[in-house]
Amino acid sequence: MSAILVPFVPIRNNEQSSGISKDYGKLERASTLAREHYDSRLSNFSELIFLELVNCQSFEDLKKRIHNISEKIEDGERVLNNIDLKFLSSTLRYSNCLFFSIFVQLLEPMLENQYYNQFAQSMVRLLLVDNRATARYAALEIIGSGLGTSQVADNLLREALFFLKDETEIYISKYLERLKGTDG
């Protein structure tokens, strides 16, 4: 049956077949390029900050890493790439108090960083309109840290006053009033 599927082709002039087709070199080059592209994408992926945070073994280790990232952002470094920022924004809706404390520590220095301030501003806006009181309080903490030093924080306070004018949680409305008094 194999003779029907693969007809016998005699080798002419006593040539030995190497078993390699003419297109083998092309396929090998394409495979090498694809492997290099995959490896470069994988190396970029392995540099992501969120993978570093997810791999923390203890809460103390997590706090230390977040503090280091925050310090680098304060120094003006571009520590987080676009995938990290997308990861942060996607985890916002599933966050709990622990993640809100992480958001506060990461977004506070972002308000003053030219590269990250638009991202931080959009994240704080999302926190302000969130239906969870802890999210709104976290937004106010972020705003409070940048008042007087960041124009973005001053603008966000005006937005917070608008969004939270009918706030039912007493501790949030008191904190908002305190921030309003701080801003003058």
- Region 52-62 average pLDDT: 71
Residue 47 main-chain phi, psi, to 5 deg: -90, 0
Model confidence at 14, pLDDT cuts 50, 70, 90, reads low
Contact (CB, 8 A) for 110 and 119:
yes
**What's the rounded Cα separation, in Å, for the pair 183 and 179?**
6
pLDDT the model gives residue 13: 54
The mean predicted confidence, pLDDT, of the chain is 78
Tokens of 132: 């969870």
Q: Which of 85, 72, 53, 160 is nearest to 113 (CA)?
A: 72
DSSP for 118-155, please give it. HHHHHHHHHHHT-SSHHHHHHHHHHHHHHTTT-HHHHH
pTM: 0.67
pLDDT at residue 6, as a whole number: 47
pLDDT of residue 42: 44
Over range 27-35, report the average pLDDT. 73
Check pLDDT > 50 for residue 1. Answer: no
CA torsion angle 168 174 175 177 (round to 10): 110
